[in-house]
Structure 1
Amino acid sequence: MWRTLTGAVAGLVVLFVGSLAFNAASGQSRWPGPLDFVRVHPWVVLLLLIPVSLIGLWQAPRRDRAQESLAPVAHRLPLRNTNFTGRDGTLRELRRRLTSVSDVAMLVVHGLGGVGKTQLAVEYAYRHLSKYRFVAFVDAEDPDLVASQFVSLAGELGLTEASSGQVIPRVYGKLVDRRPWLIIFDNGEKPAALTHALPSGDLAGNGHVIVTTRVSGWSSRAGVIDLDVFTRQESVELLTLRVPGMTATVADRIAEQLGDLPLALEQAAGYMGYNHTAPEAYLTLLTSRLEDMIARGELADRPTVVVATLWQLSVRRLETDQPQAVRLLELCALLAPEPIPLDLFTGSPEILNVGADDPLAWDTTVGALAGLGLARRGNASLVVHRLVQAAVRAAMPDEAHLDARGRLCRALVEAVPHDIHGDPDARPRWQELLPHVIAVTKDEPPAECAAETAVLLRLASTFLIQIGDCSVALPLCERALAIDESLDGRDAEAGFDLITLAQIHRDLDAPERSRTLAERALRLHESCLPADSPAIATDLATLARTLCLLGEHRAALPLAERALQIDEAAHGPDDPYVSFDLIALANVHVDLGDHATALPLISRALEIREAVYAPDHLYIGYVLVFKAQVLHTLNDPTAADFARRGAQILQTRLGRTHPKTEDAIALADRLR
């Protein structure tokens, strides 16, 4: 309208003044005041009026568009989240990619439920509202209801009598006059389910489409932005802004428990705000009762949405379409929120019973979890968010929970290396499985898997001793002993627990406690095992080293010699277990002041270990440092090189601040 009116006025001015100029050119002799210039210079006036009129005609639509941009139409756009936090980089990327093409641009925001996909799309719409003439929000969770929402859209655009069958193309046709426009399809399913509602071909132009979805498979239809959980900095920022008295330290710990999931953080802030719960008290509740807490705490703009029920629809759909995937998800829910090696399932298909023995069925089972956004799939692993795990655990019946736990215990017993000292590949395998072993064994075991739980706890303790983490190993091994002592026929296993505990207390500088435990283990094993059992050799060597710490070197010597004889006969002279006996015997001779006798024992142990273990294995580092100490006492100049190599290995494996590393570095510096 404004464009037509402005053009008409400009035309009238040109005609009026032009007619005056024409009359002047025709020979009139008298003109009133200012118009006399027109009579004298008519053609100059005409030349000046032409560009002025054109500028007026050109500016009219610009003013018209500017006026229209002040009032964009927003249809069903949710209220803006006034506490929106972070995501600045993602919002910039969203804008850049949407505006990089001149035709219809479509982007899919994909991610885990609760990660903030809808909030991101809505925030984008508000930040760039002035850039659009029409913005619409469509709930796409149920594809059958999308057409009815377009009927409402049609009414907003002034379309009447639009049938549900024709309403979608008519709406896009009308949007040609509302360019640029933006439509957000929230919580979409697979692309095929929304094809009828998305623009294509010449249906519309100069518009933007954003689809938010948990479901994979959109990359062939549109560009995809994978939205992850918050960074820890964003999580801490949200909590400290929303919760009075929240410190960065407590916020960091709460964010860790909630896996930085934005919805869970908002829910936590809502809970603390409503109940006036102190942040420290909330953290205590969260740590001890995670499954209960994810069902509590309202969001002001979405009071019915809580983390506990966020994934129920996806799980129900899986139960109907692929029940094996639900069984897999339940097993994963009892493991740690760390990468789960897929070969844990393929290695024990008959135990875990999730179809892992059929490659095709297994691939589609794992793919179903990844496809619905319930898990993230890697080349050889699966990661399930800790709050997805908590929600699944909370929904599992007690019988299903106990059954899944028993299956996992048995599968893990088969999967973990038992020969932690002798198997050169034990360390990397234990590093990936240790979090899952601890997760599965953290509660008191049901009777059906008590024995397997004790084995896992003791083996985990043994591995932790190997990497120098005895403080973590101690409570695990104490639980293993308590379980084995409560079961019948577990005397030998109780002896293994006792000797492992003795080793832990020895390394924790409690030799008296270590001696008592080692003597109990030796008596127990001698009562139920053959006299030449390697288990008895381990007891003897451990007791010998403990006696040396107590200054009873003469009593330790025959024990260490007997341990070496047993293992050489059982395993052969070059077995890794023989190297431990050699080191134990060498320690006795060093404490007796006989370094010359100790040196060949240490050298032989080093040769065995270098032939078996990787060059940077901790066991090699320990022997190198020990050998350097003995060589230094014997005034051998090569001691410095052994000390330097040993210190490098310990620093790499244990860290710079570990006490054993600090001692090794001090020795290397002293011998430099």
Structure 2
Amino acid sequence: MWRTLASAVAGLLVLFVGSLAFNAASGQSRWPGPLDFVRVHPWVVLLALIPLALTGLWQAPRRDRARVPLEPVTYRLPPRNANFTGRDAALRELRQRLTSMNDVATLAVHGLGGVGKTQLAVEYAYRYLSKYRFVAFVDAEHPDLVARQFVSLAGELGLAEVNSEQAIPRVYGGLRDRRPWLIIFDNGEKPGTLTHALPSGGLAGNGHVIVTTRVNGWSSRADVIDLDVFTRRESLELLVRRVPGTTAEVADRIAGQLGDLPLALEQAAGYMGYNHTAPEEYLSLLTSRLEDMIGQGELANRPAVVVATLWQISVRRLETEQPDAVRLLELCALLAPEPIPLDLFTGSPDVLNIPAADPLAWDTTVGALAGLGLARRGSASLLLHRLVQAAVRAAMPEAVRTDARVRLCRALLAAVPQDIHADPNARPRWQELLPHVIALATDEPPAECAAETAVLLRLASEFLIQIGDCSVALPLCERALAIDESLGGREAEVGFDLVTLAQIHRDLGAPERARPLAERALHLHDSCLSADSPAIATDLATLARILCLLDEHGAARPLAERALRIDEAAYGPHDPYVSFDLVALANVHVDLGDYATAVPLISRALRIREASYAPDHLYIGYVLLFQARVLHHLNDPTAVDLARRGAQILHTQLGRTHPKTEDAFALVDRLR
């Protein structure tokens, strides 16, 4: 309005001066209409217009200045992270959720320690700083200190003489004149501990609250965003940008070792930058000394924070409130960073010395780990981040660690199926427990559980043979053999290790290495077991198949026939172990070119397996493919259907890219 008035008055002044000039130039004695008043009384008009012009010209800039937004005021907002990486989707979601709520919007950013919750909240504040008139950052880790920070906040808002009891409501009242505003409560615990500090009702409307927290339970008080670790692309972006000379391949492996945890990646970049460590060398240190490396390196903007100490406060709290949860955490820290079946613990509560027998005590024990963000709880499993595990392991006294390893070894041995060949449910159970067996058993075992460790390693090798992963099985079985040989007095167990190792070398295409192992196993078992022991049948069948590969078919046949007689006598004619002997004997006849004799042996083996295993069991797939090859030599047109069925089983169980699956589909193509 004032701008319009000023323009109008200025126009009149111009008209007035112009009129006087026109009058002087024309010499007229009278002007038309009201302009004649200007001619007769020019100075009266001028004196009237000058105040109006000055008033309009003075008010217009003031009104314009009032429309320029005030610079936002910040309180204790940390410096912006110049190396902030990724999180674009999370930032957009944060903004969308906050702006979609009415009155006061409260949003909790929940996640594992080190995942970047605080960095996300601070980056949000800077990215959208122009949208707010007041932004405050409050340390909420110690709830009893929050009120004192609000006293300081009140002073920032110009509120005088405010004590701790008055500070919080006075601040929110003062924020009415600072709308819209943002307050970040960093590292909050349970909602109840911050209820006194969070706005409620219509108090200071048109504001946003962000709470960063590791603790579950905020969904009843706020909208929740669960922040996960970096995507691998974000991890690579950070490492390649921060560490000169880092290739994508090495960065990918470093990110894998660090579980894509943002804090750990920042720490790694800081370590390599300060020490001028080559990325390949840093990767080697991570691989061999992870528990030491998580304490090395520092962040430029948070020099006191390292992964090694990141979760200490949570663990100390557990020690006071839920000591059984600490015992569970220590057990989980020694296992693989894969889902850990909870029935591993409930099946052996006495062995593991945890309260798994009491459903309520067990639920609160597991819930304490999930509630503090130390583990992710599934319907029947717990999952710990690999760096949480490493930090817990690093803090465990050696005696505690040894005791936990012994207990876990015995619990795992009780949990895994030991008759891998005959148990139809062995495969799924072994698939979920195998990573934990490997994680626990590959280090030098404590003397108290050395024998159990050797058994676990050999059983894991037998399972890996079944699924065709012999290259993974080889070092495990070699360790089992080394442990059993070092203990002494374990001739039978050494024989089991030897025959398993022979089977691995046979399947790896090295029958010349397999033969002496199988012969030694047979010799040991002949010396310490009865002649009709099924263990000897396994040795005989294994050696027979190896001899066939070495073109010694004449020597192989009596061994396979003897193995079949032993197992038929021990188990009966329809046992799964008999099917293995039948396949071994059929292999001898196939290598001799006697396909007609091999067919009924294979057909009998198939019937036994179809009666013993699920329709898509690998052992059925293997015998179907064997039968297809033999029938093809006999020009039987059913061979292709058998091969196709066998290949589909391997595809389902092993995946399309597994070498055995590829061989199976190649066979199907040849038989068409």
Following the alignment from structure 1 to structure 2, what is the Cα–Cα distance between the partners of residues 268 and 91? 24
Aligned to 2:168: 168
Aligned to 1:509: 509
Following the alignment from structure 1 to structure 2, what is the Cα–Cα distance between the partners of residues 656 and 362? 41
Aligned to 2:108: 108
Following the alignment from structure 1 to structure 2, what is the Cα–Cα distance between the partners of residues 216 and 283? 34
Q: Describe the superposition over 1:570-624 as per-residue Cα deviations: whole angstroms up to 9, x where unpaired.
A: 1121111111011001111111221111101100111111122222222111111
Following the alignment from structure 1 to structure 2, what is the Cα–Cα distance between the partners of residues 463 and 529? 24
Please report how far the alpha carbon of residue 28 of structure 1 lies from its aligned counterpart in structure 2 after TM superposition. 6.9
Aligned to 2:48: none
Aligned to 2:345: 345
Q: Return the letter of the residue paired with 2:344.
A: L
Following the alignment from structure 2 to structure 1, what is the Cα–Cα distance between the partners of residues 493 and 242? 53
Please report how far the alpha carbon of residue 433 of structure 1 lies from its aligned counterpart in structure 2 after TM superposition. 0.4
Aligned to 1:461: 461
Aligned in 2, Cα 1:101/1:657: closer, same or farther, shift over 3 Å?
closer
Aligned to 1:587: 587
Aligned to 1:332: 332
Aligned to 1:141: 141
Aligned to 1:362: 362
- SS of 1:229's equivalent in the other structure is coil
Aligned to 2:216: 216
Please report how far the alpha carbon of residue 557 of structure 1 lies from its aligned counterpart in structure 2 after TM superposition. 1.1
Matches within 5 A, 1:428-467: 428-467=428-467
Please report how far the alpha carbon of residue 193 of structure 1 lies from its aligned counterpart in structure 2 after TM superposition. 0.5
Q: Describe the superposition over 1:106-165 as per-residue Cα deviations: whole angstroms up to 9, x where unpaired.
A: 000000000000000000000000000000000000001101100110011000000110
Aligned in 2, Cα 1:643/1:191: closer, same or farther, shift over 3 Å?
same
Aligned to 1:320: 320
Q: Return the letter of the residue paired with 1:525.
A: H
Q: Return the letter of the residue paired with 1:173.
A: G
Following the alignment from structure 1 to structure 2, what is the Cα–Cα distance between the partners of residues 67 and 545? 86
Is 1:234 the counterpart of 2:234 in the alignment? Answer: yes
Q: Describe the superposition over 1:526-584 as per-residue Cα deviations: whole angstroms up to 9, x where unpaired.
A: 11111111111101100111111111111111111111111111112111111101100
Aligned to 1:30: 36
- SS of 2:626's equivalent in the other structure is helix
Aligned to 2:290: 290
Aligned in 2, Cα 1:65/1:527: closer, same or farther, shift over 3 Å?
farther
Please report how far the alpha carbon of residue 202 of structure 1 lies from its aligned counterpart in structure 2 after TM superposition. 2.2
Aligned to 1:184: 184
Aligned in 2, Cα 1:148/1:62: closer, same or farther, shift over 3 Å?
farther
Q: Return the letter of the residue paired with 2:398.
A: D
Aligned to 1:520: 520
Q: Describe the superposition over 1:493-532 as per-residue Cα deviations: whole angstroms up to 9, x where unpaired.
A: 1110010011001111111221111111111111111111
- SS of 1:217's equivalent in the other structure is coil
Following the alignment from structure 1 to structure 2, what is the Cα–Cα distance between the partners of residues 667 and 268? 49
Matches within 5 A, 1:266-281: 266-281=266-281
Aligned to 1:542: 542
Aligned to 2:68: 66
Following the alignment from structure 2 to structure 1, what is the Cα–Cα distance between the partners of residues 614 and 631? 24
Q: Return the letter of the residue paired with 2:90.
A: T
Aligned in 2, Cα 1:34/1:14: closer, same or farther, shift over 3 Å?
farther
Aligned in 2, Cα 1:17/1:171: closer, same or farther, shift over 3 Å?
farther
Aligned in 2, Cα 1:337/1:17: closer, same or farther, shift over 3 Å?
same
Please report how far the alpha carbon of residue 62 of structure 1 lies from its aligned counterpart in structure 2 after TM superposition. 7.7
Following the alignment from structure 1 to structure 2, what is the Cα–Cα distance between the partners of residues 668 and 28? 109
Aligned to 1:490: 490
- SS of 1:30's equivalent in the other structure is helix
Following the alignment from structure 2 to structure 1, what is the Cα–Cα distance between the partners of residues 599 and 119? 68
Aligned to 2:381: 381
Following the alignment from structure 1 to structure 2, what is the Cα–Cα distance between the partners of residues 33 and 466? 115
Show structure 1 runs of 5+ residues with no match: 1-5, 19-26, 40-48
Matches within 5 A, 1:406-421: 406-421=406-421
Please report how far the alpha carbon of residue 29 of structure 1 lies from its aligned counterpart in structure 2 after TM superposition. 7.4
Please report how far the alpha carbon of residue 650 of structure 1 lies from its aligned counterpart in structure 2 after TM superposition. 2.4
Following the alignment from structure 1 to structure 2, what is the Cα–Cα distance between the partners of residues 606 and 191? 62
Following the alignment from structure 1 to structure 2, what is the Cα–Cα distance between the partners of residues 437 and 61? 75
Aligned in 2, Cα 1:33/1:599: closer, same or farther, shift over 3 Å?
farther
Q: Describe the superposition over 1:465-500 as per-residue Cα deviations: whole angstroms up to 9, x where unpaired.
A: 011111111111011011111113311111100100
Q: Return the letter of the residue paired with 1:299.
A: L
Following the alignment from structure 1 to structure 2, what is the Cα–Cα distance between the partners of residues 546 and 60? 99
Please report how far the alpha carbon of residue 662 of structure 1 lies from its aligned counterpart in structure 2 after TM superposition. 3.3
Following the alignment from structure 2 to structure 1, what is the Cα–Cα distance between the partners of residues 40 and 388? 84
Q: Is the 8 A contact 2:114 2:310 kept in 1?
A: yes
Q: Return the letter of the residue paired with 1:603.
A: S
Please report how far the alpha carbon of residue 17 of structure 1 lies from its aligned counterpart in structure 2 after TM superposition. 11
Following the alignment from structure 1 to structure 2, what is the Cα–Cα distance between the partners of residues 126 and 110? 20
Following the alignment from structure 1 to structure 2, what is the Cα–Cα distance between the partners of residues 662 and 499? 27
Q: Describe the superposition over 1:371-424 as per-residue Cα deviations: whole angstroms up to 9, x where unpaired.
A: 000000000000010000000000000000100000000000000010111111
Aligned to 2:153: 153
Following the alignment from structure 1 to structure 2, what is the Cα–Cα distance between the partners of residues 223 and 63? 38
- SS of 1:210's equivalent in the other structure is strand
Show structure 2 runs of 5+ residues with no match: 13-32, 46-51
Q: Is the 8 A contact 2:103 2:202 kept in 1?
A: no
- SS of 1:196's equivalent in the other structure is coil
- SS of 1:197's equivalent in the other structure is coil
Q: Return the letter of the residue paired with 2:539.
A: D
Following the alignment from structure 2 to structure 1, what is the Cα–Cα distance between the partners of residues 105 and 457? 55
Following the alignment from structure 1 to structure 2, what is the Cα–Cα distance between the partners of residues 140 and 65? 36
Aligned to 2:23: none
- SS of 1:521's equivalent in the other structure is helix
Q: CA RMSD in A?
A: 2.3
Which segment drifts farther, 525-534 or 391-400? 525-534
Q: Describe the superposition over 1:38-59 as per-residue Cα deviations: whole angstroms up to 9, x where unpaired.
A: x9xxxxxxxxx9xxx9xx99x9
Aligned to 2:17: none
Q: Describe the superposition over 1:190-238 as per-residue Cα deviations: whole angstroms up to 9, x where unpaired.
A: 1010000000012210000000000110000000000000000000000
- Compute the TM-score of the two structures, normalised by the length of structure 2: 0.92
Following the alignment from structure 2 to structure 1, what is the Cα–Cα distance between the partners of residues 401 and 39? 102
- SS of 1:113's equivalent in the other structure is coil
Q: Is the 8 A contact 2:327 2:354 kept in 1?
A: yes
Q: Describe the superposition over 1:267-308 as per-residue Cα deviations: whole angstroms up to 9, x where unpaired.
A: 000000000000000000111010111001010000000000
Identity of matched residues, %: 79
Which segment drifts farther, 374-383 or 586-595? 586-595
- SS of 1:615's equivalent in the other structure is coil
Q: How many residues align?
A: 641
